[in-house]
Amino acid sequence: MAKIGFIGLGIMGAHMARNLIKGGHSLFVNGAYPVPEDLSKTTTVVADSTAVAQAADIVIIMVPDTPDVANVLFADDGVAAGLTQGKLVIDMSSISPLDTQAFAKKINALGADYLDAPVSGGEVGAREASLTIMVGGPEKAFALAKPLFELMGKNISLIGDNGAGQTCKVANQIIVALNIEAVAEALLFASRSGADPERVRKALMGGFASSRILEVHGERMTKRTFDPGFRIELHQKDLNLALDGARKLGIALPHTASAQQLFSVCAANGGKAWDHSAMVRALEIMANYEVAQAPGSEAKAA
């Protein structure tokens, strides 16, 4: 079994690490970052990211944003300082495609391979090992990493060269955001019209409007369960990547921009850490009406 380094044991990373351990792999983790209690007992905790790279054959990174990946890789105690010929770095964070290409070139110059492999599926997908994994990088490195990906996900695709995985993830996040917006508008309309939004949601699940977003996030909207599986502030980061990229490409993404504005309303009302399904709350604020409140009620949205 491969010796694996794993850096970034947050909401999703911790579940992904557990699934690798279940698959029989030995994990080395960075003790400079918080390590969940159960993983502190089932992994080898080392001093820093350099030590992780020295101990492991393959280093997996799962952190929030582009600057975080840069720091993990290239700080004085970063991964790059511990790499040797033939090792593999896999970044499963969701970050800038252009910066990913630059990171890959630097890692390749050290004799190591690099894959960008962002994921979709949220905390549930990470816990249940059902993530969608979108990969950019060399085919040989992908073949080496695929057995590990199969322990963490179910839909695994090599999209193209380095950066292509991140580009695919940005496209995914556009689609997810616009679907959340559509579901939120539909349920707000139904609820304000006097219909039971949960019954409407269930009815729509049997027709052409059915989607995973309607199933999971629509239920969160009607049941008011906005504890984060994927935080609004992280989806804002992803949509910023989309909008910045669109400006550089000279294309318009008007509905992506409107979804970002709704997330900004949530953030301005204390919702940066809400689940992204809470986008509905921005619409509720504008409508002065909350989905799932009693028909005929004029109470203001929270």
Q: Would you name the residues annotated as active-site residues? A: 169
* DSSP result, the chain: --EEEEE--STTHHHHHHHHHHTT-EEEEETTS---HHHHHHSEEESSHHHHHHH-SEEEE--SSHHHHHHHHHSTTSGGGG--TT-EEEE-S---HHHHHHHHHHHHHTT-EEEE--EESHHHHHHTT-EEEEEES-HHHHHHHHHHHHHHEEEEEEEESTTHHHHHHHHHHHHHHHHHHHHHHHHHHHHHTTS-HHHHHHHHTTSTT--HHHHHHHHHHHHT----SSBHHHHHHHHHHHHHHHHHHT---HHHHHHHHHHHHHHHTT-TTSBGGGGHHHHHHHHT--TTSPTT--PPP-
Contact (Cβ atoms closer than 8 angstroms) between residue 92 and residue 117: yes
